[in-house]
Amino acid sequence: MKKILFLLLLIYGTSCFSQKYFTRTGATDFKASVDFFEPIEAKNKSTTVLLKTSTGEIVAQLFMTAFQFKIGLMQEHFNENYMESYTYPKATFKGKLVDFNLSTIDKKSNYTLKGILTIRGISKEITTTASLKKDKKQLTFKANFSVTPKDFEIEIPAIVRKKIAKKVDISLDYVLEKKV
Amino acid sequence: MKRILVFLNLLFVCSFPLLAQNDLMEELNEETETNLTFDPLAFKAMKIGNLQSTKIGDKGDLYLYVSHRFGPLKNGFDTFFGLDNAITKIQLAYSFWNGVQLSVSRESYNRTLASALKFMLVKQSNRFPLTIVGYSTININTLLDENNFPELQPSDRYSYANQLLISRRFSNNFSLELAPSYVRQNLQDLNIVAQAQHNQFAMGFGGRLKMSKRMSLNAEYIHNFSRPSNSPFSDAFAFGVDIETGGHVFQLLFTNAQSTNEPAFISYAEGDLVFGFNIVRVF
């Protein structure tokens, strides 16, 4: 009986008290620049990210209007004409770090990240490699991947087509802290 | 009994991660909602037609506004529907700081020099439903001739308008604006107006209906509370379309005022329908 109780406690312990790491100031950048034209890039510094360490599940979410461009008018056009941010305010990612294990993170820091990116209500499967680093309290998550405007049915008018890259590079840099 | 207990426990424990899986996104949602996010702008250009909108250029952006107002359409072919009597205004607006825009302009109507200050007070966000902007302008009428007005004081050339611009973007396609306004006219020509009204109060109403990503229908009406009923002037209105092409916005409109300066069209809209346009270019 004692053994069973102990076992139960152990199972409870791992599932109920599974740790989560969290941030609401994650940096998500994208670049869609073409050489010799105005750089098209923006930074979102308010991405919220939640990682469940027991399973490696990771979810992230950001507001399109929080992308900051160097040129204000570019930002306005991004929201108004391309992303339709009023209708689709958020982009979300729901995925998993394959074989993630927090206790062996010192030895293995690169994990396959698989998940579904949803922008403008359209979902696309993403597979890439994420690097993770653990400090005393923080967990630093970094990853890169690219998408195309076509993936999310973003129309680009003919006159600006040359100035916007076919492939949009997205980089993620999240410093997560233990969530209480 | 023991077995049942163990079974129940196991069931509970096993189902827990399943529950937790769905919760992760919900948990994140709850955390995200508290972030401050601004709603997209209510208007594409700094003006709805004649009336100022709540848009302010971003820091470092230089805007050039070229406005034309033609003569009354009712003159017909004699003036080619007013094309012979165009009033032109050229305006430069620059933002030295975020949310603060300064502008200078010259309009051929009364050869008016004007400067204006526009500043953001609150932006529409998930925490506040309105955008509120302050607007203040000084106009100098340089056409007034001292031969016609022997007692003319330098201060008589000045007129002012102060407005609070309150807008809300209700949906992707629909925005509305209210503009409580105070106009000060230092000069009241009693040959034209029956009684002097130096201080005038008005309320502007404006709106936008987006037809597509780059086109919208705009309309505005400004009611002047201080205008006597026997005044030869009317409440100003304008309606037209905005067409945006990247760095330009073209505003094609019909209005009943010849001037696009606030003290002039709020007080002295002539009332005859004219065609006009604003071209906005950002540098």
Q: Which residues of A touch B37 (CB under 8 A)?
A: 46, 63, 65-66, 89
How many residues appear in chain B? 283
Tokens 């399943």 -> residue: B18
Asked if B113 reaches chain A (Cβ–Cβ under 8 Å), the answer is: no
Question: Which residues lie closer than 8 Å to B262 by C-beta, 6 or more apart?
Answer: B50, B51, B52, B135, B137, B161, B163, B181, B183
Q: Is B40 on the interface with A (CB under 8 A)?
A: yes
Residues of B in contact with A84 (CB under 8 A): 172, 213
**Residue numbers in A near B247 (CB within 8 A):** 73
The one-letter amino acid code at A93 reads F
Q: Classify strands B236-245 and A138-147 as parallel, antiparallel or unpaired.
A: unpaired
For residue B128, is pLDDT > 70?
Answer: yes
A21-37 burial: b if 16+ Cβ within 10 Å, else e: bbbbebbbbbebbeeee
| Identity of the residue in A15, A76, A79 whose CB atom sits nearest the CB atom of B17 | A15
Of the candidates B206, B235, B234, B240, the residue with the CA atom closest to the CA atom of residue B220: B206
Which residues, other chains included, contact A22 with Cβ-Cβ below 8 Å and sequence gap of 6+? Answer: A48, A49, A50, A51, A176, A177, A178, A179, B31
Query: In terms of CA atoms, which chain B residue is nearest residue A64?
Result: B37
Region of poorest pLDDT, from A15-29, B47-61, B96-110, B122-136: A15-29
3-state secondary structure at position B258: coil
Whether B61 has its CB under 8 Å from any CB of chain A: the answer is yes
Residues of chain A contacting residue B61, judged by C-beta atoms under 8 Å apart: 71-73
- Partner A contacted by B169 (CB < 8 A): yes
Distance between CA atoms of residues B167 and A89, nearest Å: 20
pLDDT, tens only, A121-155: 999 999 999 999 988 889 999 999 999 999 999 98
Residues from chain B contacting residue A90 (CB–CB below 8 Å): 32
B282 touches A: beta carbon within 8 Å:
yes
The confidence score (pLDDT) of residue A159 equals 82
Q: Do A72 and B9 touch (CB under 8 A)?
A: no
Nearest chain B residue to A83 by CA distance is B213
CA–centroid distance for A57 within its chain: 12
**A18-178 CATH fold:** Lipocalin (2.40.128)
Q: Comparing A174-178, B154-158, B209-213, B228-232, which segment has the lowest mean pLDDT? A: B228-232
Contact B39 A60 (CB under 8 A): no
The predicted model gives A10-14 an average pLDDT of: 53
pLDDT confidence of residue A10: 57
Pairing of β B236-245 and β B100-107: unpaired
* pLDDT the model gives residue B205: 97
Give yes or no for a contact between B59 and A72, defined as CB atoms under 8 angstroms apart: yes
Please give the backbone phi and psi of residue B37, each rounded to the nearest 5 degrees, phi first. -130, 135
H/E stretch holding B107 reads strand B100-107
Residue A14 pLDDT > 70: no
To the nearest whole Å, the CA of A114 is away from the closest chain B CA by: 15
* SS3 category, B132: strand
Is residue B14 within 8 Å of residue B211, measured between CB atoms? no
Measured CA distances, B23 to A14, A95, A99, B229 (Å):
17, 14, 21, 65
Write the pLDDT tens digit of every residue in A28-64.
Answer: 999 999 988 888 999 999 999 999 988 999 999 999 9
pTM, two decimal places: 0.81
Q: What is the pLDDT of residues B212-252, one digit of tens each?
A: 988 999 999 999 999 988 889 999 999 999 998 877 899 99
Which of A46, A80, A141, A62 is closest to B44 using CA atoms?
A80
Beta bridge partners of B119: B100, B134
Contacts with B233 (C-beta within 8 Å, 6 or more apart), sequence order? B193, B227, B267, B268, B269, B270, B271
Contact B169 A73 (CB under 8 A): no
* Three-class DSSP category at A2: helix
pLDDT at B151: 86
- List of residues 6+ apart from A25 with CB closer than 8 A: A45, A46, A47, A175
C-alpha B266/C-alpha B259 separation (Å) is 9
Mapping DSSP to helix (H, G, I), strand (E, B) and coil, where does residue B283 land?
A: coil
Are B213 and A81 an interchain contact pair (Cβ–Cβ within 8 Å)? yes
Mean pLDDT of A143-172: 91
**Top CATH class, B62-282:** mainly beta
Alpha-carbon span B64 to B41, nearest angstrom: 20
Q: Which residues contact B244 (CB under 8 A, 6 or more apart)?
A: A81, B44, B214, B215, B250
Distance between start and end Cα atoms, chain A: 33
DSSP B48-104: SSSSB-S--PPTT-EEEEEEEEEEEGGGGGGGTTTTTS-EEEEEEEEEEETTEEEEE
- Choose among B37, B171, B214: nearest Cβ to A63: B37
Residue ranges of domains in chain B = 1-33, 62-282
The whole-number pLDDT of residue A36 equals 86
Q: Which two tokens stand for residue B262?
A: 């606030």
Residue B208 has pLDDT above 90, yes or no: yes
Task: Using alpha carbons, select from B220, B241, B222 the residue that is nearest to residue B44.
Answer: B241
Min Cα distance B201 → chain A (Å) is 34
* CA B255-B192-B114 angle, 5° bins: 55
Distance CA B182, CA B201 (A): 5
Phi, psi of A16 (to 5 degrees): -75, -40
Hey, what amino acid is at B143?
L
